[in-house]
Amino acid sequence: MTLSAVETWNNAAFLALTAGQQPWPVILIIAKVLAIGAVDVICIALVLGWLRSGRPLRFALLDATLSAWLGLGIAVGITLIWYHPRPFEIGLGQQWIPHATDASFPSDHGTLTFALAFSLLFSARRIWGLGFLALAFGVAWARIYLGVHFPLDMLGAAAVAGLGSALVHWARPVLHSKVYPVLNRFYEKQLRQLRLPTRIFPRDL
């Protein structure tokens, strides 16, 4: 498949998924909540998970966070090498949320959410992984629907996220035996010095 054929498919898929000129108000609100509020939901979930848990879940959350950072680093590298305009930059579709005119491929939001999901699934934290995976698909749909990303931006984000998660999974034995225990001991030591419990809630997830 040639590059022009890929772009033709990308544009056609975008037009099939985007809101258009007169979207349903309820669907538009749902899409905006997903597109804009996803990062807040992620931060709250990670903090609550960390505070509620013991070492197993904390280490899984550290894996997920590192996977997200690696994925985002790779994504930034791609945008520095190759610039792909956003749909509204080329007059395609309707833009429903404000966004800077930076490179669209791959999506940062998609990379973040897919990386967290894949990493947690790798670590056998199925409920957490499936929850983040559902959020990732919701974010991907919402940001296409609102006119700020192409479908291929999200497919690229999933691929980059998968690479970041795979690298962390490969390094997992060293991280879990050498790196994370040191971080966890330091964290718990600081809490004890402040006379705070090492877990805010009584049981692990």
Total residues found in the chain within this entry: 205
The per-residue pLDDT for range 44-67, each reduced to its tens digit, is 999 888 887 778 889 999 999 999
Q: Which residues of 46-81 are buried (b: 16+ CB within 10 A; e: fewer)?
A: beebbebbeeebbbbbbbbbbbbebbbebbeebeee
Report the distance separating Cα 2 and Cα 10, nearest Å. 12
In the chain, where the domains are located:
23-87+104-193
Checking if the pLDDT of 202 tops 50, the result is no
Residue tagged 């090492």 (tokens):
198
Q: Give 135-145 pLDDT, tens digit per residue.
A: 999 999 999 99
pLDDT at 200: 52
- Under DSSP, the state recorded for 175 is I
Percent of the chain surpassing pLDDT 70: 91
pLDDT tens digits, 182-199: 988 887 777 667 665 555
**Distant-in-sequence, close-in-space partners of 11: CB < 8 Å, separation ≥ 6:** 92, 150
Looking at residue 176, what DSSP letter applies?
I
Query: What does the DSSP assignment read for 91-130?
Result: T-S---S---S---SS-HHHHHHHHHHHHHHHTT-HHHHH
* Greater model confidence, 21 or 180: 180
